[in-house]
């Protein structure tokens, strides 16, 4: 556990010592801020219309702002996740520092979990940026905070799963660009897999749709903690990190 923290601290420091972290956080703040502003503007317009008509439509902040925004964060994350994970191992392999990690008295899995934790922490920082926007809703309205919390948990799990996949892909190459592009492709594919369920109901289509990373987020976005979906994400995290460990092990044989 100590070793995991040593690695995680070093990785986080690398993120924040280079412009990567600041760039990602700034871009995320801009993009999410724009999404937030848009949906708030729409919400205000709806409110004014319902007043003009004289009939009070039920206006719910959770339903109309938080829920779609949480889904949006998931989609924006898809674009940011490859940029977080692409350097994790590719950079170490290119610069040769992987030799230091691989010859230190520390287990591969500790290195892997440490790096993954650092990536998840950086993503959590992005969620904190989003939270600044949500805080205004609490200042001027009375949204229910529990669904937001569960939504956040879902986002972390979803990102954790994609970050684990990205970490694995980063062990396959010395080239960060290749790692990033491949991770982006896989993330995108995992996202759009559920589209098949729109026109096909055969078993294989259901399996494909089930594998989609987005479908499992719907319950979280609604504020429902569905164990089935949580387990799906945890399984992907586990598999991703397991394959990372296998890939690192194979380096000892292939070089």
- Residue 103 near another protein by CB under 8 A: yes
The sign one gets for the Cα dihedral 114, 119, 120, 122 is positive
The nearer residue to another protein, 104 or 201, going by C-beta atoms, is 104
- Residue 96 near another protein by CB under 8 A: yes
What is the rounded CA–CA span in Å between residue 47 and residue 52?
Answer: 9
- Residue selected from 95, 201, 206, 235 as contacting another protein according to rule CB under 8 A: 95
The nearer residue to another protein, 78 or 111, going by C-beta atoms, is 111
- Residue 246 near another protein by CB under 8 A: no
Q: Is 144 helix (H, G, I), strand (E, B) or coil?
A: coil
Nearest alpha carbon to residue 62 among 158, 138, 129, 153: 138
- Residue selected from 51, 97, 201, 206 as contacting another protein according to rule CB under 8 A: 97
- Residue selected from 29, 31, 106, 225 as contacting another protein according to rule CB under 8 A: 106
- Residue selected from 1, 17, 56, 203 as contacting another protein according to rule CB under 8 A: 17
CB 152 within 8 A of CB 129: no
Residue with structure tokens 């109309």? 64
Nearest alpha carbon to residue 158 among 134, 124, 129: 124
Q: Is 206 helix (H, G, I), strand (E, B) or coil?
A: helix
- Residue 55 near another protein by CB under 8 A: no
Question: Which residues are at the interface with another protein (CB under 8 A)?
Answer: 3, 6, 10, 13-14, 17-18, 95-107, 252-255
């Amino acid at each position: 556990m100590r070793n995991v923290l040593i690695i995680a601290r070093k990785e986080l420091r690398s993120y924040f010592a280079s412009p990567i972290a600041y760039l990602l956080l700034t871009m995320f703040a801009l993009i999410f801020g724009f999404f937030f502003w848009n949906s708030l503007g729409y919400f205000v317009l709806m409110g004014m219309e319902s007043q003009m008509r004289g009939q009070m439509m039920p206006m719910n902040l959770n339903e109309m702002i938080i829920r779609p925004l949480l889904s949006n964060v998931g989609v924006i994350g898809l674009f940011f996740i490859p940029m977080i994970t692409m350097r994790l191992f590719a950079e170490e392999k290119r610069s040769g520092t992987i030799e230091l990690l691989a010859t230190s008295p520390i287990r591969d899995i500790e290195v892997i979990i440490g790096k993954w934790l650092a990536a998840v922490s950086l993503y959590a920082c992005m969620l904190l940026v989003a939270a600044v926007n949500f805080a205004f809703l609490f200042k001027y309205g009375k949204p229910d905070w529990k669904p937001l919390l569960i939504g956040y948990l879902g986002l972390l799990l979803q990102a954790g799963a994609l970050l684990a996949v990205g970490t694995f892909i980063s062990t396959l190459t010395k080239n960060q660009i290749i790692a990033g592009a491949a991770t982006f492709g896989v993330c995108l594919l995992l996202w759009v897999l559920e589209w098949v369920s729109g026109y096909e109901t055969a078993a294989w289509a259901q399996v494909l749709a089930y594998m989609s990373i987005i479908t499992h987020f719907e319950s979280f976005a609604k504020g429902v903690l569905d164990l089935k979906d949580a387990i799906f994400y945890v399984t992907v995290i586990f598999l991703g990190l397991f394959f990372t460990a296998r890939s690192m092990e194979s380096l000892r044989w292939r070089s």
